Amino acid sequence: MAPYYEALCKSLDWQVDVDLVGKMKKANEEELKRLDEELEDAEKNLGESEIRDAMMARAEYLCRIGDKEGALTAFRKTYDKTVALGHRLDIVFYLLRIGLFYMDSDLITRNTEKAKSLIEEGGDWDRRNRLKVYQGLYCVAIRDFKQAAELFLDTVSTFTSYELMDYKTFVTYTVYVSMIALERPDLREKVIKGAEILEVLHSLPAVRQYLFSLYECRYSVFFQSLGKKRVARPLIRLHIQILCANNHG
């Protein structure tokens, strides 16, 4: 992860460990050389499917080591070599994940529109629902909690976006944004009485207490729970003051 480590040191003004960077760069270069050789072999001896798979493996590796620009370029080249609509959508989802990781609004917006366009061409039900989760996460990041709640609640019973988070984390985010965005009657019908959400909340007692203490007007318990959320989830932690103000109101 040499590229990501160097970028992190720069953004946080950390001193770079030169020896560590050297070791990471060597490992990265060796793996990229191996992937390049596999791609070259596929181009000489194999078919289009194998070439695409080799290109995809290289793009995924660049993504894993934090080479943002290299990964974006590699994924776009792979996209151009890809014919199947579903595989094209999977590449767009990769670009969206990179955008969400780096909070690159332009990258997220452009690829959300591209995904919508591809889905209209004939994308399947699963990818259509996965896109809603991606959109919802971005809405949380930009504090559009109402839209985030709508998108998340629409996919509670059909969630398959495990490349982003597990189901418990997804339900946790759904509860949090719904508490901010929904009027009391909607919160009751869609969350408090939501069968899928309640089933998960049995294994999330802290989140359950947070939700029900607000709904039942047990404010001393609610604000104790709210204080604990300051370190709970990265996206929610960024907006804790809004959470507090909105729920207090």
Give the model confidence (pLDDT) of 161-181 as tens digits. Answer: 999 999 999 999 999 999 989
Instruction: Tell me which residue range forms the domain holding 186.
Output: 124-248
Mean per-residue pLDDT of the chain: 89
- pLDDT surpassing 80 at residue 47: yes
Q: Is residue 21 part of a domain?
A: no
**90 in a structural domain:** no
Decide if 204 is inside a domain: yes
**pTM of the entire predicted model:** 0.87
Asked whether residue 249 carries a pLDDT value surpassing 50, the answer given is no
pLDDT on residue 4: 86
Is pLDDT above 70 for 65?
yes
Q: What is the pLDDT of residue 10?
A: 86
pLDDT at 199 exceeding the cut of 50: yes
Is 181 part of any domain?
yes
Which residue pairs from 78-86 have beta carbons closer than 8 angstroms and sit at least 24 positions apart in sequence?
Answer: 78/52, 81/48, 81/51, 81/52, 81/55, 82/52, 83/48, 85/118, 85/121, 85/122, 85/123, 86/123, 86/124, 86/127
Position 153 pLDDT exceeds 60: yes
Q: Is residue 241 part of a domain?
A: yes
Residue 231 has pLDDT above 50, yes or no: no
Residue 3, in any domain of the structure: no
96 assigned to some structural domain: no
Question: Is residue 114 a part of any domain in this protein?
Answer: no
Structural domain count of the chain: 1
Does 247 have pLDDT greater than 80? no
- Mean pLDDT lowest for which of 7-21, 34-48, 86-100? 7-21
| Residue 234 pLDDT greater than 80, yes or no | no
What mean pLDDT comes out for the span 65-69?
92
Residue 139, SS3 per DSSP: helix
pLDDT band of residue 54 (cuts 50, 70, 90) is very high
Confidence of residue 240 (pLDDT cuts 50, 70, 90): low
DSSP state of 157: G
The pLDDT of 130-141, averaged and rounded, is 94
